[in-house]
Amino acid sequence: MSDMRHTLPIAPQFYVTAPQPCPYLDGRTERKLFTSLQGENSQRLNDALSKQGFRRSQNVLYRPTCADCTACLSARIRVADFEPSRTQRKILKASAHLRRNATSPWATEDQFSLFRRYLDARHADGGMADMDVFEFAAMIEETPIKSRVIEYSRPGQTIEKSSRGRILTAVSLTDVFDDGLSMVYSFYDPDFASLSLGTFIILDHIDIAREAGLSYVYLGYWVPGSRKMGYKANFSAVEIYKNGAWQDLGNPQDHLGERGPLSVDPISEQVAKIALPQTGSFP
């Protein structure tokens, strides 16, 4: 008799958050579908669900599942097809003096100091405004998958300089997938906002992914009509996850209708449609 083996899917439990004010569109509420990341299958589960519009926050994977809105669309850049615009080439040139350093996900005092300055200058009323050093350390260090902290520093001679005479200027917490890089959270020195460091970090991640032979840079959610998220549509070769599949962004104006009330599948149907990775085998 032949040796027949069957694989079993990883079967996580999914939950839904209580409604709360939407951080992107005024007057709306949001809910999230989420599951925990734990155990030896965390990396495979993260890889699989991230390709279906999920994002990671520490040891949780989540995806918006609002009752009457599907405006939040996961976005990624196709590395092979990306071509920088004239403005983006200028941004790369202006920040060419920054030195990149990829480290393990470990929080430092310099990172937290830069993080606080960034929040105070740009997101003083945001959901992370009250984050203390312990919560910051948890954001950076609590990761059950392959993650890196990408630091960017500039030459300088101040009391804040590192032992190598460079000043921390920008940071990105980045996850490594089987097919790309995911920018979990990034922040930078607000005194250098004129360098468009947020855009520079994305452009540099495209270079990192290209060098590593990875196909995508995942940008998180793009929300048509939201000023906070509008910059993501400025990159070429952007795809969005919509109606269960990745597709070219095309004209951003074509997606503004996602702000209106739509027919949203019940949670049970949404969960049933999630493709889970396979794990293990039995005779």
Q: Average pLDDT for residues 193-210, to the nearest whole number? A: 97
Residue 66 pLDDT more than 90? no
Residue 237 pLDDT more than 90? yes
Residue 218 pLDDT more than 90? yes
Residue 158 lies in a domain: yes
Q: How far is Cα 237 from Cα 222, in angstroms, rounded to an integer?
A: 14
pLDDT tier at 39 (50, 70, 90 boundaries)? confident
CA nearest neighbour of 142 among 197, 204, 185, 202: 185
Q: Average pLDDT for residues 225-247, to the nearest whole number? A: 90
Q: How far is Cα 275 from Cα 232, in angstroms, rounded to an integer?
A: 27
Q: How far is Cα 49 from Cα 276, in angstroms, rounded to an integer?
A: 7
Residue 88 lies in a domain: yes
pTM: 0.88
Cβ neighbours of residue 266 under 8 Å, at least 6 residues apart? none
Q: How far is Cα 137 from Cα 131, in angstroms, rounded to an integer?
A: 10
Residue 56 lies in a domain: no
Residue 233 lies in a domain: no
Helices marked H in the chain:
42-50, 86-94, 109-122, 133-141, 197-212, 267-272
pLDDT score recorded for residue 281: 40
Lowest-confidence region among 122-136, 154-168, 169-183: 154-168
* Residue-wise pLDDT tens digits, 81-106: 999 999 999 999 999 999 999 999 99
- Residue that the structure tokens 């009391």 belong to: 159
pLDDT tier at 156 (50, 70, 90 boundaries)? confident
Quote the number of domains for the chain.
1
Lowest-confidence region among 9-13, 68-72, 116-120, 262-266: 262-266
Q: How far is Cα 136 from Cα 105, in angstroms, rounded to an integer?
A: 12
Give the mean pLDDT of the chain.
Answer: 87
Instruction: From residue 171, give the alpha-carbon distance in Å to each of 25, 34, 68, 152.
Output: 27, 26, 35, 6
Residue 177 pLDDT more than 60? yes
Residue 79 lies in a domain: yes
pLDDT score recorded for residue 161: 46
Residue 230 lies in a domain: no
Q: Average pLDDT for residues 37-48, to the nearest whole number? A: 90
Residue 261 pLDDT more than 80? no
pLDDT score recorded for residue 282: 36
202, 181 contact by CB (below 8 A)? no
Buried b (16+ CB within 10 A) or exposed e, 201-231: bbbbbbebbeeeebbbbbbbbbbbbbeebee
Residue 283 pLDDT more than 50? no
Give, as one character, the DSSP assignment of residue 207. H
Range of the domain at 217: 75-221
Any idea what the CATH number is for the domain that residue 139 is in?
3.40.630.30
238, 77 contact by CB (below 8 A)? yes
Instruction: From residue 111, give the alpha-carbon distance in Å to each of 95, 156, 196, 277.
Output: 19, 16, 19, 35
pLDDT tier at 280 (50, 70, 90 boundaries)? low
Residue 102 lies in a domain: yes
Q: How far is Cα 180 from Cα 215, in angstroms, rounded to an integer?
A: 5
Residue 125 lies in a domain: yes
* Residue-wise pLDDT tens digits, 100-152: 999 999 999 999 999 999 998 876 566 676 789 999 999 999 999 999 999 99
Q: How far is Cα 65 from Cα 67, in angstroms, rounded to an integer?
A: 7
